[in-house]
Structure 1
Amino acid sequence: MAGRYGFAQFFSRDKVKTFKPKKKFEQGTLKFNLHKQANASLSSGIDLKEVVRLPPQEDLNDWIAVHVVDFFNRINLLYGTICEYCTEETCTTMSGGPRYEYQWCDTDSVKYKRPTALPAPKYISLLMDWVESQINDENIFPVKVGVPFPKNYLQVVKKLLTRLYRVFVHVYIHHFDTLVALGAEAHVNTCYKHFYYFVVEYSLVDKKELEPLREMTEKMCL
């Protein structure tokens, strides 16, 4: 199984671009230290089911926050590897095969207050901008020690991770051949397994949202 080092090494190649700017933790903060701890565990080759478990005496909300940011960065890189093959002409809808189509809705926006069908690259661009705005909002993801998380924190996290999961769905179902051709399959599989084990461990994505990749997941993760 490819480890974190292999994943990072692959996605540091010149041919791979970041789809959106990478989110970083400030050095010396609690979340920076947790981020280093999580990545060290991932690099060590420990079973991914063990990697996602909350370290002793750590705060669950902080642990989840670190992973949300990490998953945003990694899915950002993942989509960056294939985004030139995902165009408004080739992917006219944000879908996961004929049975699943996702429509964009952001009640805070002027244009998308109601679910709107969009081409996949437009949907994913809006999604990444929206996720970035959420994780940069210190009212949702506080960065200072002692500042509490909001009461709706887990509700927000579930929405973020559910929408990020849809990028996996689209990429695996519509761009798998491209992943294979780029030699990225094993690395993306590692990223997916880490994400899957994490959201299942903390019940952060509803089972019905995981359905599009159920058969693949059963072979890969169960």
Structure 2
Amino acid sequence: MSNFLRGLGGRNPRQQPQPARRSPTTPSSAQFADMPGQLQQYGAAPSSPHSPGKPLYMCQPFVKAALVKGSFKTIIMQPKYSERMEWIAVNIFDFFNNLNLFYGVLTECCTTATCPTMSAGPMLDYTWVDHNKRQIRLPAPTYIDYVMTWVQNLLDDESTFPTKAARDFTPNFPNTTRHVFKQLLRVFAHIYHAHYPALLHLHSEGHFNSLFAHFLAFGFEYQQLDVRDFKGVGVAALVDKWREMGVLDGQIVPSTGGPV
């Protein structure tokens, strides 16, 4: 283990220094193979009032809003003397921290009343798989709290994200990181679907678009995201649009073929 990850030791990306709460439905490593977190499609009214038409994030000029211009290739390039798993671990820490900060300013908009389900698009809801392998619908703030608590617990677990010398990553680490990316993708998808107007009100669309584009570019480059993760996800159309625009230029980004 090199010094690359040791800077994470003792750091807590949560906004408040509260102890991590493990939900009774939080998945464990042993459940990963059986926890697809499948999407259910049904006829309930979507949580976003603008969802029946073209989503705001797909409209001009918002779809072009960004802080980073050009390719993300340089940003995501692995440093010469780092190890691949270390580089992935550090970036997961940063993606989680930044996404957590964005969601933190949206919590007043994301309530059990406004977001009774974890919606990612019209008639598209994520379901959580509990310890009995039952798919259950949760309000979006509850689902996101479970995700953020689960990722926080992983980051705080020295056996999963080692920061001390002489500690190595476990053989299951790649499987763990792919599940982290999948769950963070769902948080991104919900924010785009249900809370993009709030980001526009805060003039933060360029920041959030750049964070998501960075997340996508890194995830595809290092095989942390799969095209199947986008099946049925509302932001699949945004991924395809950015690929056409060259935002994800140089990345191996297969067409998602997903609906808006």
Contact 1:76–1:128 (8 Å) recurs in 2: yes
1:158 alignment counterpart:
178
Contact 1:31–1:66 (8 Å) recurs in 2: yes
- Separation in 1 of the partners of 2:191 and 2:203? 14
- The share of aligned pairs that are identical, in percent, is 36
Which has the larger helix fraction? 1
- Separation in 1 of the partners of 2:143 and 2:188? 13
| Among 98, 119, 122, the residue aligned to 1:74 | 98
- Separation in 2 of the partners of 1:139 and 1:77? 26
How far did 1:48 drift? 1.9
* 1:96 match: secondary structure: strand
Listed one character per residue, the Cα deviations across residues 82-101 of structure 1 (whole Å, up to 9, x for unaligned) are 11111111111001012431
Give 1:31's aligned amino acid: L
- Separation in 1 of the partners of 2:130 and 2:83? 30
1:186 aligns with 2:206: yes
2:156 alignment counterpart:
136
2:107 alignment counterpart:
83
Give 2:5's aligned amino acid: K
Instruction: Report the structure number with the largest CA radius of gyration.
Output: 2
- Separation in 1 of the partners of 2:193 and 2:149? 23
| Among 105, 113, 116, the residue aligned to 2:136 | 116
1:24 alignment counterpart:
none
2:188 alignment counterpart:
168
| Among 47, 56, 72, the residue aligned to 1:48 | 72
TM-score, structure 2 length as denominator?
0.65
Give 2:206's aligned amino acid: A
TM-score, structure 1 length as denominator?
0.75
| Among 219, 224, 239, the residue aligned to 1:217 | 239
Contact 2:116–2:138 (8 Å) recurs in 1: yes
Gaps of 5+ in 2: 9-66, 249-260
Listed one character per residue, the Cα deviations across residues 35-83 of structure 1 (whole Å, up to 9, x for unaligned) are xxxxxxxx99884222112111310011011011111101101111211
- Separation in 1 of the partners of 2:195 and 2:100? 15
* 2:240 match: secondary structure: helix
Contact 1:103–1:115 (8 Å) recurs in 2: yes
- Separation in 2 of the partners of 1:182 and 1:45? 21
Contact 2:121–2:193 (8 Å) recurs in 1: yes
Listed one character per residue, the Cα deviations across residues 134-182 of structure 1 (whole Å, up to 9, x for unaligned) are 1111111111123110010000000011101111100001111111111
Contact 1:30–1:145 (8 Å) recurs in 2: no
Higher relative contact order (CA 8 A, sep 6+): 2
1:30 aligns with 2:4: yes
* 1:65 match: secondary structure: helix
2:122 alignment counterpart:
98
Which deviates the most, 211-220 or 89-98? 211-220
Give 1:148's aligned amino acid: D
**Alignment RMSD (CA, Å):** 2.5
Change (3 A) 1:97 1:46: closer
Contact 1:53–1:201 (8 Å) recurs in 2: no
Listed one character per residue, the Cα deviations across residues 97-118 of structure 1 (whole Å, up to 9, x for unaligned) are 12431112354xxxx7533210
1:206 alignment counterpart:
226
